[in-house]
């Protein structure tokens, strides 16, 4: 890997190049559910009229997902933005490994299944949906079938309810599908396959970035110890919890434990094996550490059961989390941050806790740490531990302050930042809060426009995927789906919509213009765009820059 070559006629702007990623702010249809269109966004509107403006693909094949029916997400979006090329992502790698059978031929699967004694249990833990962001139910069903074919008699499934990457109250659909599969297995011989526990993904088990370890502790108590509110089955649990809290969505449901004859059916004990079937890393790392590490300080696990644990993928290769995994993760190399580091460009990455790992770990190709301690600064602003709809402005103001300080003090050549608002608040389904979240981001962008003007830098404003742009479900006919009362059905998941890209060069020294080639390009073209705006020549294997120097 060699330093980047300098552009023959443009040495870069006087000020920094600032890349702003408005998480979850896509380009919708402008209908009643499009909170991006409904929000007051004078600064984004100004950029649309006064900057280079285009649209980018941020889903499906353009970000390494199995098909164009798959929505993008923050992990794959930041991978693609930082890598400058498209790599096959976890969803596709796992799908292919299951389809070919390679996942069952590996050492890890055979260690887990081969160690099970007569009374031991094989446990599967993960997000129960077909969102294909963190997991896919088809992968779970395939592994359950394989376990049965290998003669494994006792299996327990610990279900995390979604309501975020799929419909907000769709959990019973997936439970029914799973229960049907388990019943079929149980009817074909001396098998005992059952759901053991569950709860909403934002209440137990799926914390990230060390933001809320009590979530992990609640998950540990539920899945491992079998402690929590008891029910006869998952359907009863979900229906009861919903009735007690009208309007609650699946991601926020509290924990439940399934019992028979008054006893939990599936605590995790010595001699068992456990597979975490989520393939996305950020919300899998903490629970993996809790199973894998001899000592943790975040909470008291009690006696650590002697089990064999594996992730369906390795979620952090640098830290080897987890130690045992079924499918190798994407091998992303030669990313934007590394090229800039060896080319002598100073960098700043900033966001709040909810997306800090996206502008660092995921942006750097799933790599922990910096490429250069001397030239890189990473700033994490601690997120509030409050429901996002209660504070839709989140930490956008503080993120903007950090960027402005860097611009004023001429600290960095390249700044990348993520405003999480459109995504994190978008997942709540609260329309007013989502509208406010988009307007908050717009205010931050307005402050950056003025700073970039003063510094003669270049501002790139874009998104990693859509969310706030489509808050109601839309049918294939393009019309809003209605519920039994005639109201639009709420949508809390990401979208298949393109995302905006604005490139603003107030000084005009680069004489930037839209480049030719594929239209629209994908978000992977942003890395070459950053290099071009810095006066560097992108590597030949990078996806083409969105702009070229005049």
- 257-303, pLDDT tens digit by residue? 999 999 999 999 999 999 999 999 999 999 999 999 999 999 999 99
Residue 117 pLDDT > 80 = yes
Token pair of 512 as six digits: 């930037």
Buried b vs exposed e over 296-309: b needs ≥16 C-beta within 10 Å?
beeeebeeebebbb
pLDDT tens for residues 297-351?
999 999 999 999 999 999 998 899 999 999 999 999 999 999 999 999 999 999 9
pLDDT tens for residues 403-458?
999 999 999 999 999 999 999 999 999 999 999 999 999 999 999 999 999 999 99
Point out which residues pair with 200 in neighbouring strands.
161
What is the phi/psi pair of residue 73, to 5°? -150, 175
At residue 485 the predicted structure's pLDDT band, cuts being 50, 70 and 90, is confident
Give the whole-angstrom CA distance, residue 357 versus residue 371: 15
Mean pLDDT of 70-91: 97
Burial class (CB in 10 A: 0-12, 13-18, 19+), 146: middle
* Per-residue pLDDT at 530: 98
- Evaluate whether 412 touches 374 at the Cβ level (below 8 Å): no
At residue 189 the predicted structure's pLDDT band, cuts being 50, 70 and 90, is confident
DSSP state of 298: S
- Full-model pTM: 0.92
Omega within 30 of 0 (cis) for the link into 322: yes
Return the closest-CA partner of residue 30 out of 22, 39, 21. 39
* Per-residue pLDDT at 233: 98
Task: Please identify, in words, the CATH class of the domain defined by 5-89+334-549.
Answer: alpha beta
What is the phi/psi pair of residue 24, to 5°? 80, 15
Domain boundaries along the sequence of the chain: 5-89+334-549, 92-327
Task: Name every residue whose Cβ is closer than 8 Å to that of residue 105 and which is 6 or more positions away in sequence.
Answer: none
- Scan for tokens 């297995």, then name that residue: 185
* Secondary structure in 3-state letters for 423-460: HHCHHHCCHHHHHHHHHHHHHHHHHHHHHHHHHCCEEE
**18, containing H or E segment:** strand 17-22
- Evaluate whether 259 touches 265 at the Cβ level (below 8 Å): yes
Give the whole-angstrom CA distance, residue 358 versus residue 407: 22
From the list 74, 135, 197, 406, the catalytic residue is 74
Token pair of 422 as six digits: 């459109």
Name the percent of the chain in helix, strand, coil, to the closest 5.
35, 20, 45
Q: What three-state secondary structure class fits 310?
A: strand
- Evaluate whether 63 touches 79 at the Cβ level (below 8 Å): yes
Q: For residues 176, 179, 181 and 183, what is the CA-based torsion angle, rounded to 10 degrees?
A: -130
> What is the fold, at CATH topology level, of the domain defined by 92-327?
3.40.1450
Residue 395 CA to chain centroid, in angstroms?
19
- Evaluate whether 142 touches 222 at the Cβ level (below 8 Å): no
Return the closest-CA partner of residue 530 out of 499, 505, 497, 509. 505
* Per-residue pLDDT at 518: 72
Give the residue, 497 or 480, on which the prediction is more confident. Answer: 497
At residue 158 the predicted structure's pLDDT band, cuts being 50, 70 and 90, is very high
- Strand segments, DSSP code E, in 32-153 are 52-57, 122-128
Return the closest-CA partner of residue 167 out of 245, 238, 250, 241. 250
Token pair of 25 as six digits: 């702010």
**545 is annotated as an active-site residue:** no
**Between 74-83 and 526-533, two packed helices, what is the crossing angle to 10 degrees?**
40
pLDDT tens for residues 471-482?
999 888 888 898
- Strand segments, DSSP code E, in 273-384 are 273-276, 308-313, 325-327, 347-352, 376-381
């Amino acid at each position: 890997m060699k330093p980047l070559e300098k552009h023959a006629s443009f040495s870069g702007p006087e000020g920094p190049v600032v890349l702003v990623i408005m998480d979850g702010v896509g380009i919708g249809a402008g209908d009643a559910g499009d909170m991006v269109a409904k929000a007051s966004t004078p600064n984004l509107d100004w950029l649309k009229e006064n900057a280079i403006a285009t649209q980018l693909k941020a889903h499906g094949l353009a970000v390494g997902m199995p098909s164009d029916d798959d929505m993008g997400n923050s992990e794959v979006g930041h991978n693609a933005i930082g890598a400058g090329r498209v790599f096959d992502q976890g969803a596709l790698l796992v799908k292919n490994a299951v389809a070919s059978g390679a996942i069952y031929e590996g050492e890890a699967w055979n260690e887990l299944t081969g160690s099970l004694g007569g009374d031991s249990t094989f446990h599967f833990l993960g997000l129960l949906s077909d969102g294909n962001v963190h997991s896919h139910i088809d992968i779970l069903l395939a592994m359950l079938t394989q376990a049965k074919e290998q003669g494994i008699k006792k299996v327990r499934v610990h279900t995390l309810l979604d309501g975020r990457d799929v419909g907000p109250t769709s959990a019973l659909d997936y439970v029914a599908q799973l229960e049907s599969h388990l019943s079929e297995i149980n009817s074909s011989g001396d098998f005992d396959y059952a759901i053991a526990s569950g709860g909403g993904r934002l209440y137990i088990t799926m914390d990230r970035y060390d933001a809320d370890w009590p979530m992990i502790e609640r998950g540990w108590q539920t899945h491992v110890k079998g402690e929590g509110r008891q029910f006869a089955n998952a359907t009863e649990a979900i229906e009861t919890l919903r009735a007690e809290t009208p309007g609650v969505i699946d991601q926020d449901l509290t924990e439940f434990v399934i019992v028979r004859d008054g006893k939990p059916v599936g605590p995790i004990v010595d001699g068992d094996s456990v597979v975490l079937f989520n393939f996305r890393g950020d919300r899998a790392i903490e629970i993996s550490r809790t199973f894998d590490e001899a000592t943790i300080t975040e909470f008291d696990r009690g006696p650590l059961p002697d089990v064999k644990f594996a992730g369906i993928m390795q979620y952090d290769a640098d830290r080897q989390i987890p130690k045992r995994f079924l499918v190798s993760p994407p091998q992303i190399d030669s990313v934007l941050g590394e090229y800039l580091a060896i080319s002598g460009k100073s960098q700043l990455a900033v966001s709040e806790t909810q997306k800090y790992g996206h502008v660092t770990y995921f942006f750097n190709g799933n790599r922990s740490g910096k490429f250069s301690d001397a030239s890189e600064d990473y700033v994490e602003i601690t997120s509030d531990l409050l429901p996002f709809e209660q504070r839709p402005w989140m930490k956008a103001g503080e993120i903007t302050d950090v960027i402005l300080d860097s611009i004023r003090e001429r600290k960095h050549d390249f700044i990348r930042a993520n405003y999480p608002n459109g995504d994190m608040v978008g997942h709540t389904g609260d329309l007013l809060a989502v509208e406010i979240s988009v307007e908050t981001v717009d205010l931050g962008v307005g402050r950056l426009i003025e700073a970039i003007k003063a510094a003669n830098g270049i501002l790139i404003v874009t998104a990693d995927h859509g969310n706030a742009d489509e808050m109601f479900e839309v049918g294939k006919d393009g019309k809003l789906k209605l519920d039994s009362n005639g109201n639009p059905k709420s949508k809390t998941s990401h979208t298949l919509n393109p995302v905006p890209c604005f490139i603003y060069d107030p000084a005009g020294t680069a004489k930037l213009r839209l480049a030719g080639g594929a239209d629209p390009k994908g978000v992977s073209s942003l890395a070459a765009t950053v290099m071009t705006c810095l006066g560097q020549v992108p590597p030949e294997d990078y996806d083409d820059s969105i702009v070229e120097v005049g």
